[in-house]
Structure 1
Amino acid sequence: MMDHGGRVEEEEEGMLTCFVFEETGGKNEGITSHQERREICLNGCGRPTNVCLCSELPSEPLLTSTQILILHHPHELRHKLATVPVLSKCLRNCQTIVGRRLRLGSSPLLDSLYRASVDNPSRPRRAIYLFPGTDSSPSVELNDWVSLNSSKEDGISDLVLIVFDGTWKHAKEMVSASLPFLSMFATQVSLNYDTGVEGGTIFDSDLVLRKEPFHGCMSTMEAVARSLRVLEPRGVEIEQRLISVLRAMVKFQAGYLKPLKPRPKLAKKGKEVDKNKHL
Structure 2
Amino acid sequence: MPRLQCPRCTRPADRCLCALIPCLTSRTRVLILQHPSEVRHALNTARLAALGLSNAELLVGEVFEALPALLQQPGYRPCLLFPGEQAHALTQFAEQHAELPLLLIVPDGTWRKARKLLHLNPQLAALPRVMLPEGLQSNYRLRKAPEPGALSTLEAIVEALNRLESPSNFDALLKPFEALIDGQIEAMGEATFQRNHGN
**TM-score, normalising length: structure 2:** 0.82
Gaps of 5+ in 2: none
1:228 aligned onto 2:179: no
| Residue 108 of structure 1, aligned match among 52, 66, 69 | 69
8 Å contact kept, 2:91–2:163? yes
Quote the Cα distance in structure 1 between the aligned partners of 2:68 and 2:47.
19
For residue 57 of structure 2, the aligned residue among 74, 95, 100 is 95
Cα deviation code 1:212-268 (max 9, x no counterpart): 101121111111111111222553x22x11122322222112213434968xxxxxx
Aligned residues of 1:132 and 1:193 also touching (Cα < 8 A):
no
Root mean square deviation, CA, Å: 2.8
Aligned counterpart for 2:132 among listed residues 191, 215, 235 = 191
Greater relative CO (CA pairs within 8 A, separation 6+): 1
1:249–1:183 CA distance, 2 compared to 1 (3 A): same
* Identical counterparts, % of pairs: 32
Q: Could you tell me which residue of structure 1 aligns to residue 20 of structure 2?
A: 56
Q: 1:244 aligns with which of 175, 184, 190?
A: 175
Paired letter, 1:147: E
TM-score by length of 1: 0.61
Query: 1:44-95 CA deviation, whole Å, 9 max, x = no partner?
Result: 533112322122112xx21112111111111112211111222221111111
Q: Does 1:65 align with 2:27?
A: yes
1:129 aligned to 80, 101, 120, which one? 80
Asked whether the equivalents of residues 32 and 107 of structure 2 are also in contact (C-alpha less than 8 Å), the reply is yes
Q: Counterpart of 2:117?
A: 174
Paired residue secondary structure (1:45): coil
- In structure 2, the partner of 1:12 is none
Aligned to 1:256: 187
Change (3 A) 1:73 1:225: same
Equivalenced residues, count: 193
Residues 70, 172 of structure 1: alpha-carbon distance in 2 compared, 3 angstrom cutoff? same
State the AA in 2 paired with 1:91: L
1:101-156 residue CA offsets vs partner (Å, 9 max, x unmatched):
445x336322x26xx9xxxxxxx98111111114xxx2112122223333xxx2x3
Which of 149, 152, 155 aligns to 2:97? It is 149
The answer to whether the 8 A contact 1:130-1:190 is kept is yes
Counterpart of 2:97 in 1: which secondary structure? helix
| Counterpart contact for 1:102–1:182, Cα < 8 Å | no
In structure 2, what is the Cα distance between the partners aligned to 1:250 and 1:222? 13
Which structure has the greater CA radius of gyration? Answer: 1
Answer whether contact 2:48 2:173 (CA < 8 A) is retained. no
Q: How many Å separate the matches in 1 of 2:90 and 2:50? A: 22
Out of 74, 85, 105, the residue aligned to residue 36 of structure 2 is 74
For the 8 Å contact 1:71–1:101, the answer to whether it is kept is no
1:45 maps to what in 2? 9
Partner Cα separation in structure 2 for residue 81 and residue 241 of structure 1 = 17
CA distance in 1, matches of 2:43, 2:146: 16
Change (3 A) 1:93 1:107: farther
Matched with 1:16 is none
Distance in 2, Cα, partners of 1:81 & 1:233: 28
Counterpart residue identity of residue 148, structure 1: Q
